[in-house]
Amino acid sequence: MSLRIFFIIGIGLSLTIFSCEKDIDIKMHQSEQKLVVEGTIENGKPPYIILTRSQDYFSAINIDLLKKIFVHHAEITVSAKGRQITLVEKEKDTSMGAKFYYYAPKGSNNFKGIPGTTYQLSINDNGKIFEAETTIPSHGFKLDSLWWEPATKNGKPDSSKAFLIARIYDPVERGNYARYFTKRNSEPFYPGLVSVAEDEITNGKVFNFQLDRGVSKNTKVDREDFGYFAPGDTVILKFCNIDKDTYDFWKSWEYSWSNNSNPFATPTTVKGNIPGALGYWGGYQAQYRSIIIPK
């Protein structure tokens, strides 16, 4: 399952507060259900869209809910440079016993992401039109090299754990943004716990950056082994230049996610780029590197 579960947002709460003087019954109205969009286009790959409906904040995440949240029969087009393609709804089975639905081009298609190109997204959901655009950057951070180093424990090398270091070149032009993912062995690509970065302090510099192992935000993060790889792991790094809207979305989303259980955290609004809907439409210029950590 992807991060889409965490896009299911809304507030619906009914609770009774008891005091020594009298009972107070507070009833919160259910929030309006909204369209939730997770849309991406990557260099060399076709557009890919997931549509769901937002749910009440305290809704139980279970199979029955997952069967109902997907939006079917939407009309979706993606346009760029005078070309337009219509996406079709597709499905695949999941290990959880529910179908997973998404929208993509029909069959093999040569409509694939090109760096430097702006893509317009249009969604017709039962007569309601939602539009957005994103650009796959033509330049930005350049991934130079990748290596591993052993972790330390009590000031000594720990042979059971390793972490990755990437050497990255940031050109002098300001306004570069990035997001990264790691794939370990047969696992999917997972984003880092903090997966986005900007170039506010690195313009024109070559710098080394520690990359924590990506994590599935659908499961509890193991703080003991968080961020590390193990000897024998084959790791693929996916390092992507993104536009500012995509950066703003993921920065605000990850901040909100990390503070989800903290009652003292500052409330955060997730910054999507699709007016009238939740979520985002984002372009990725991806670079890949692979490495094997020896046993």
Condensed to tens digits (0 to 9), the pLDDT of residues 67-84 reads 678 999 999 999 999 999
Residue 3 confidence (pLDDT): 38
Count of beta carbons in the 10 Å neighbourhood of residue 176:
22
Contact 132, 121 (CB under 8 A): yes
Q: Is residue 182 domain-shared with residue 218, that is, in the same domain? A: yes
Q: Between residues 17 and 203, which one has the greater pLDDT?
A: 203
Q: Supply φ then ψ for residue 149, to 5 degrees.
A: -140, 150
**Same domain, yes or no, for 78 and 50?**
yes
Q: 291 in a domain, yes or no?
A: no
Domain count, the chain: 2
The overall pTM is greater than 0.85: no
274-to-165, 198, 203, 239 alpha-carbon distances in Å? 35, 22, 30, 24
Residues 127 and 47 in one domain: yes
Domain that holds residue 165: 142-242
Q: Let me know whether 193 and 57 are in one domain.
A: no
Q: Which of 61, 73, 78 is nearest to 3 (CA)?
A: 61
57 in any annotated domain: yes
Residues 260 and 152 grouped into a single domain: no
Asked if 252 and 109 sit in the same domain, the reply is: yes
Read off the pLDDT of residues 171-227 as tens digits, 9 standing for 90 and up.
Answer: 998 999 999 999 999 999 999 999 999 998 898 999 999 999 999 887 777 766 778
Structure confidence at residue 46 as a pLDDT band (50, 70, 90): very high
Of 99, 107, 29, 78, residue with least CA distance to 283: 78
